[in-house]
Amino acid sequence: MGDVIADEVSQLHSRNSSDCRLYSKHVKDNVHGFIPLDPLALKFIDTEQFQRLRDLKQLGVTNLVFPGAVHSRFEHSLGVYHLAGEAVNELKKYQGSELGIENFDVQAVKIAGLLHDFGHGPFSHMFESGFLPAVLGGARWSHEDMSERLVDYVVDEHHIEMDDGMLKKVKEMIVASTEHGSADNVKEKRFLYDIVANGRNGIDVDKFDYIVRDSRACGLGCSFQFERLLQTMRVMDDEICYRAKEYLTVHKLFVTRADLHRTVYTHAKVKAIELMVVDALVKANDHLQIASKIHDPAEFWKLDDTIIKRIETDPHPALNESRDLILRIRKRDLYQFCNEFTVPREELEHFNNVTAKDIICSQVSGGVTLQEDDVVVSNIKIDLTHGKNNPLRRIKFFQDYDSDTNFTIGEQSISQLLPSCSLDRIVRVYAKNPKLVAAVSEAFENFQKQKYGRKTQVHGTPQKKKQRCG
Q: Which residues contact 253 (CB under 8 A, 6 or more apart)?
A: 203, 207, 208, 211, 224, 226, 229
Average pLDDT, the chain: 89
| Residue ranges of domains in the chain | 41-268, 336-384+422-470
pTM: 0.91
CA 361 to CA 446: how far, in whole Å? 9
343-365: burial string, b at 16+ Cβ within 10 Å, e else? beeeeeeeeeebebebbbebbee
Q: Tell me which residue of 126, 107, 5, 106 sits closest to 57, measured CA to CA.
A: 126
pLDDT tens column, 263-305: 999 999 999 999 999 999 999 999 999 999 999 999 999 999 9
Instruction: Please name the helix (run of DSSP H) or strand (run of DSSP E) that holds residue 329, with its range, or none.
Output: helix 320-330
Strand order across the beta sheet in which 33-37 lies: 9-11, 23-29, 33-37
DSSP of 159-205: T----HHHHHHHHHHHTTTSSTT-GGG--S-GGGGGSSS-TTTS--H
pLDDT at 464 exceeding the cut of 90: no
Predicted local confidence at residue 459, as pLDDT: 82
Task: Note whether 65 and 41 are within 8 A (CB).
Answer: no
**Cα angle at 308 between 303 and 309, to 5 degrees?**
105
Indicate which residue of 32, 71, 116, 143 is catalytic: 143
Higher pLDDT: 370 or 409? It is 370
pLDDT at 67 exceeding the cut of 80: yes
- Alpha carbons within 13 angstroms on the beta-carbon side of residue 10 total 12
Q: Which residues pair with 339 in a beta bridge?
A: 429
CATH number of 336-384+422-470: 3.30.70.2760
* DSSP conformational letter for 386: B
| Beta strands at 239-243 and 397-398: parallel, antiparallel or unpaired | parallel
Residue 113 carries which side chain, given as an amino acid letter? Answer: G
Predicted local confidence at residue 384, as pLDDT: 85
pLDDT at 162 exceeding the cut of 60: yes
Q: Per-residue pLDDT averaged across 340-353, rounded? A: 92
| Beta strands at 33-37 and 23-29: parallel, antiparallel or unpaired | antiparallel
pLDDT tens column, 208-266: 999 999 999 999 989 899 999 999 999 999 999 999 999 989 989 999 999 999 999 99
SS3 state of residue 107 = helix
Give me the helix-helix angle, 164-174 and 103-115, nearest 10°. 50
Burial class (CB in 10 A: 0-12, 13-18, 19+), 251: buried
Q: What ranges make up the beta strands (E) of 258-413?
A: 336-342, 375-383, 397-398
- Annotated active-site residue 143? The verdict is yes
CA 52 to CA 45: how far, in whole Å? 10
First to last CA, the chain: 54
CA 407 to CA 398: how far, in whole Å? 6
Predicted local confidence at residue 465, as pLDDT: 62
Share of the chain above pLDDT 70, in %: 89
Higher pLDDT: 117 or 411? It is 117
Q: In this structure, which topology does domain 41-268 adopt according to CATH?
A: Hypothetical protein af1432 (1.10.3210)
Task: Note whether 83 and 114 are within 8 A (CB).
Answer: no
pLDDT at 467 exceeding the cut of 80: no
Q: What are phi and psi of 100, to 5 degrees?
A: 70, 30
Task: Note whether 90 and 61 are within 8 A (CB).
Answer: no
